[in-house]
Amino acid sequence: MKVLVTGNNGYIGNVMCPMLLSEGFDVVGLDSNYFEGCEFEQRQAKIGQIVKDIRQVAAEDFQGVDAVIHLAGLSNDPIGELNPGITEKINLDASVRCAQLAKQAGVKRFVFASSCSVYGVAKEGEMISEQGELNPVTAYAKSKIGTEFGISPLAEADFSPVFMRNATVYGVSPLLRLDLVVNNLAAWGHITGKIKIMSDGSPWRPLIHIQDFSRAFIAALKAPKELVHNQVFNVGQNSENYQIRYLAAAVKQVIPGCSVEYTGEHGSDSRTYKVDFSKINTVLKDHFKPKWNVLKGVEELAEAYKRNKLDMPAFEGDKFVRLRHLTLLKKSGKLDNDFFWTEKK
């Protein structure tokens, strides 16, 4: 089966593509390569590559493709808050257009990387299932749910979209991100021996290891059509909902001597939510077998940080934080006019 992975040159794509290859898929990537030169470790996958912005894709790009995994997009909230327009154009408008063109070109399955952030702030103690109330509080979350609503009506006998509402990812990748909570806290612990939590540590977050995320997408490709056709799946495990204070404790356990400080403040990020992952773990149980938990993930990260001598200049640099790198590209005139925002002082 030929699979086109958009956003293959990002954090997740660099782990998912080698896994797809080892499962026997024929893989081609499509990416604008915003994060070229941001390697943490050597990339593994050698695959055919279309270097293109998803805003410029054409039906020909999908010729001969059986399935699309759509990862490309502006991948976190701060970028969306600086300029909601660019997030809407790339994450929503271009994504819906990709699905339309893919369908036109005869692609059978379109697996979209949505996010659990569509649930926003949940009620105390509630585990949110796929039927739960939607409460997207950021431009990023709004773009994800908008894309689901834009693509779903395209579903037909020969075109099966699948909507993967992913937990927040952690884990090692050749294109590491340090703006993700577990990766970030482990890096603080590794570099400074101090972890600072900008809250009282009580907010809940659903988390997933990068390889389990990839396993879920592979499951969505392999499962019989009737199990996934136009379905929404929360992607994670019920046991992988954590309070932030547990994440700090996990880092402390793996990196002995770490100290943890809670600022107790309520920052701009009001999100707290626990997600119910029962559906994917029952409907796709023959295909999706997650293998990780946060503690194991922190051990893996700490080992990789040591191996690659991650230090403060790298941590504070612009390679591993998406917003910083895009800001650098913008300042050097390498982004188009859709990318505009005024920097905060």
Ligand X SMILES: NC(=O)c1ccc[n+]([C@@H]2O[C@H](COP(=O)([O-])OP(=O)(O)OC[C@H]3O[C@@H](n4cnc5c(N)ncnc54)[C@H](O)[C@@H]3O)[C@@H](O)[C@H]2O)c1
User: What is the binding site for ligand X (CB under 6 A)?
Assistant: 7, 9-13, 31-35, 53-55, 71-75, 90, 113, 115, 166, 168-169, 175, 177, 180, 322
Minimum distance from CB of 168 to ligand X (Å)?
4
Which of 109, 177 has the CB closer to ligand X?
Answer: 177
Torsion of CA 45, 96, 37, 303, to 10 degrees: -60
Which of 33, 293 has the CB closer to ligand X?
Answer: 33
User: Distance between CA atoms of 48 and 32, rounded to whole angstroms?
Assistant: 14
Alpha helices in 3-94 (DSSP H): 13-22, 77-82, 84-87
Q: Rounded to 5 degrees, what angle do the CA atoms 177, 180, 183 make?
A: 75
Measured in degrees and rounded to the nearest 5, phi and psi for residue 117 equal -65, -10
Minimum distance from CB of 24 to ligand X (Å)?
23
Bridge-based pairing of strands 26-31 and 168-170 is unpaired
User: Distance between CA atoms of 187 and 125, rounded to whole angstroms?
Assistant: 30
Tell me the residue nearest to ligand X as measured from the CB.
Answer: 10
Minimum distance from CB of 256 to ligand X (Å)?
28
Which of 177, 271 has the CB closer to ligand X?
Answer: 177
Which of 72, 254 has the CB closer to ligand X?
Answer: 72
Bridge-based pairing of strands 241-243 and 204-209 is antiparallel
Which of 49, 262 has the CB closer to ligand X?
Answer: 49
Minimum distance from CB of 13 to ligand X (Å)?
6
Minimum distance from CB of 85 to ligand X (Å)?
13
Minimum distance from CB of 103 to ligand X (Å)?
19
Strand partners, 135: none
Q: Number of C-alpha atoms within 13 angstroms, CB side, residue 308?
A: 19
Strand partners, 261: 196
Which of 23, 53 has the CB closer to ligand X?
Answer: 53
Contact 38, 175 (CB under 8 A): yes
User: Distance between CA atoms of 285 and 280, rounded to whole angstroms?
Assistant: 7
Long-range contacts, stretch 58-64, CB < 8 angstroms, 24+ apart: 58/101, 59/101, 59/104, 59/105, 60/105, 61/4, 61/30, 61/101, 61/105, 62/4, 62/101, 62/102, 62/104, 62/105, 62/106, 62/107, 63/105, 64/2
Contact 223, 270 (CB under 8 A): no
Minimum distance from CB of 34 to ligand X (Å)?
4
Which of 184, 258 has the CB closer to ligand X?
Answer: 184
Minimum distance from CB of 125 to ligand X (Å)?
23
Which of 180, 258 has the CB closer to ligand X?
Answer: 180
User: Distance between CA atoms of 21 and 45, rounded to whole angstroms?
Assistant: 8
Minimum distance from CB of 171 to ligand X (Å)?
10
Here the tokens at position 130 are 């796929």
Here the tokens at position 71 are 């990862």
Which of 7, 78 has the CB closer to ligand X?
Answer: 7
